[in-house]
Amino acid sequence: MKKWPKWLKAVAIVLGSAALLAIAVLIFVNAYISKSKPVTEGKLSVPVLEEEVSVVRDAKGVPHIRAASDADLYRAQGFVQAQDRLFQMDLARRQASGRLAEVVGEAAVPSDKLFRTFSLRQAAADSESGYGEDAREVLGWFAEGVNAFIDHAKEDGKLPYEFRLLGYEPEEWTPVDSLTIGKFMAYDLGGNWNALAFRHWAVNEYDGGKMKELFIRYPENAPSILEANRENPVAIAGAFDASLIPPEHNGSNNWVVSGDKTASGKPLLADDPHLGLTTPSIWYEMHLQSPEQNVTGVIFGGIPGIILGHNENVAWGVTNVGPDVQDLYIEEQNPDNPAEFRWDGEWEQAAVRDEPIKVKDGDTIDFEVVTTRHGPIISDIMLPDTGTGGDLLSMQWTALEPTRELEAVMQMNKASDWDDFDRALRNFNAPAQNFVFASKDGTIAYRANGNIPIRKKGDGQLPVPGNSSEYGWEGYIPYEELPTAVNPDEGFIATANNQVIGDDYPYHITDFWAQPYRYERIAEVLEDGDSFTPEDMMDLQMDVKNLYAREFLDEMLGSLKSTGADGKYGKAVKLLEEWNGEDDKELGAPLIFHKWMRDLPRVMFEKAMPEDVYDLMPGKNHITDEMMRQAYAGKPGEWVTEYGGVDKWVSDSFERTMKGLSDEFGESTDKWKWGDYHQLVFPHPLGSASPIFEKLLSPPRTATSGSAVTVQAAGFKDDGSADHGASWRFVADLSDLTRSWHIVGPGQSGHMKSKWFHDQAEDWVAGDYHETRADGTAGGDELKLVPEGEK
């Protein structure tokens, strides 16, 4: 079960004291919270503006901003984002910068140490200097708008109520804050260091087949790297905080269909990025219009522009490529000078950066970040006090190099065709993303974009020696050789974090692709159909057909028959045998199947490795799936053989599943429902402070269909909380880009008193999309932002 990060628990501790709860009760019954509700009608003076700006919030709270210049457009965008999401923006820059302990307290120190060491803010600062003048102007205009709101809210006593509860005020917004949040998304979407750490442990724990079977693909051609990992063991067990590891396969679905297969004769595009489901949403939908651009879609709070969406000519969406972009190096430290590390027979000085960590109600903690030629030493935060014997781990990561994603976003927002968009993508380097594209001229296209390293030795599956120039990176895959498709004969392009290259592709991207089932279902539907409409795309985004069960269930039921378990659990077996293969919230079979699949790796591995190493283990079901495939093909590996065979393993796992379900839902199998366990949640970061806050700030748990392997993605924790999935759903019809269709659960606003706080939570479950107009006809609350002195 993925746990709350310690810093987030600390927020609850701070807010959960009797005194603060008493204050909170008083606050909730007086006018303070209502006073901080965003103003959405009338006029507001914004001193940084040069001319009046119109902000119309439509029926779903989507702000349509119309300005006479790009300068005022981005200033207004910053102001409006801050109106609805300032507290979220402030927490995001603090977490990414390693400055949460200043406002949360001691429990946030581990998180601060991690992000100080990962050096996201330093990388953002390094990136800023590489931006062109136009992009730096945009960052500056956006920051002016955010600061104008902060100043306005402070003067009128209307700062978001969360700041009062935590007892601090937001600092001035800077361009580096925006870029740091961008780097945080690279962290959330581009991590594989934990996989390397786990494999390092496995190489030193097991020999032969048992070791090999814990790899997605065993590196047969890297004996020197394997030997280096054995000769220089670094302690792994007991050293990791799993709550700080991003969810595995932060993924997404996207696809684009050519006009040959649509009712309109023009392309259709669909995208639904899969990230953590929270209150407020990680995404903020906006429509930005000036004489220079007309673009609509979503952006992360704290960043200017539109990162995903469409303009008047083109539409685009992304999924995560998931390449191996983080490498670990085993560094040999000088016992006489801890800031020196061996390199080609000589001791080389590392860079040392002081990073004192201020702690609320505590002493400032002295902390240093040591950076070798490869990257920061992460052992101090990941492997404390484990007696590594002088060998430490450093991390090289593409996102720590200067990159210019914001320039790419600015260019994408104004692109008129594939050539424009393709040029823009050259600057979108981290995180690596699968971009799908469509234009009004009928072009559909795809590129797996980003900086993906080329290694001198090895393929990024294990840590490598840091003391030799024989290892390391020698550049990135050339842009022109990244996986690309334009107007393919199939008439569609789709990705779902699946393998996007063939065996003949000359470069290594990763061996750890997502399970193929979402992609296979999307392709199955798009191959078979024609005359598609936007409604068909929305229906496909809500599809709950489970192809995982299609591959394995019959053989797994055969294992039950071979051991006699089918007779003991006849009713449950019958449910599975008669199941239509859909993860429908009203059915019992999905509940049994998914709990069963989750129990397979537990039964196989939980006694074989420490709990924290198990949590660190990447691709648990990837590994057990392959073990089952081989065993059912008559080639059981060492793990399965040692357990007693595939039938015993699968049946024992089923026994465990049935006991757990009976304890939780009773003995009446016919009353079990997937939705009684699998329930959508949008947790607020302050909701765990008390039952009162939870009720007020987080929408109620709601039964939902889908799962982590269906197109309607809804990944779940061990308690059934579906907290990971389509953080935004989007469909565009290139025959009419004056409108598009969206769901941003649970809603647009971050303010609990707003009518747009949770109004899309039920829409998420039901698949009720709202239409966003991009032609200036959107109606709703209108707020006019005027320069200082105008009335």
Prediction pTM value: 0.94
Q: β-pairing, 308-310 with 314-320?
A: antiparallel
Q: β-pairing, 433-439 with 314-320?
A: antiparallel
Please choose, from the candidates 192, 152, 480, the residue with its C-alpha nearest in 3D space to the C-alpha of residue 328: 192
Backbone angles phi, psi at 537, to 5 degrees: -65, -40
Per DSSP, what are the bridge partners of residue 729? 743
Would you say 327 is a known binding-site residue?
Answer: yes
Q: What is the pLDDT of residue 221?
A: 73
Would you say 324 is a known binding-site residue?
Answer: yes
Per-residue HEC secondary structure of 266-279 comes to CCEEEEEEEEECCC
Q: What is the pLDDT of residue 8?
A: 61
Catalytic residue among 36, 252, 559, 690: 252
Q: Is 668 a catalytic residue?
A: no
Q: Within 13 Å and on the Cβ side, how many CA atoms surround 73?
A: 24
Q: What is the pLDDT of residue 222?
A: 77
What is the crossing angle of helices 589-605 and 646-665, to 10°?
A: 120
Q: β-pairing, 729-733 with 739-743?
A: antiparallel
CB-based burial, 586-618: b 16+ in 10 Å, e otherwise: ebbbbbbbbbbbbbbbbbbbeeebeeebbbbbb
Walk me through the domains of the chain, giving residue ranges and CATH numbers. Answer: 252-323+405-463+473-541 (3.60.20.10), 554-580+588-672 (no CATH)
Q: Name residue 535's amino acid.
A: E
Q: Residue 280 is encoded by which pair of tokens?
A: 């407020």
Q: What is the pLDDT of residue 781?
A: 96
Non-local (6+) Cβ contacts of 531 within 8 A are 261, 262, 263
Low-confidence ranges of the chain (pLDDT < 50): 1-2, 18-19, 29, 383-389
Cα separation of 124 and 106, whole Å?
Answer: 26
Span between the terminal Cα atoms of the chain, in Å: 55
Q: What is the pLDDT of residue 2?
A: 42
Q: What is the pLDDT of residues 310-352, one digit of tens each?
A: 999 999 999 999 999 999 999 999 999 999 999 999 999 999 9
Cα separation of 340 and 191, whole Å?
Answer: 27
Q: What is the pLDDT of residue 189?
A: 83
Cα separation of 502 and 634, whole Å?
Answer: 27
Q: Residue 431: is the preceding peptide bond cis (ω within 30°)?
A: yes
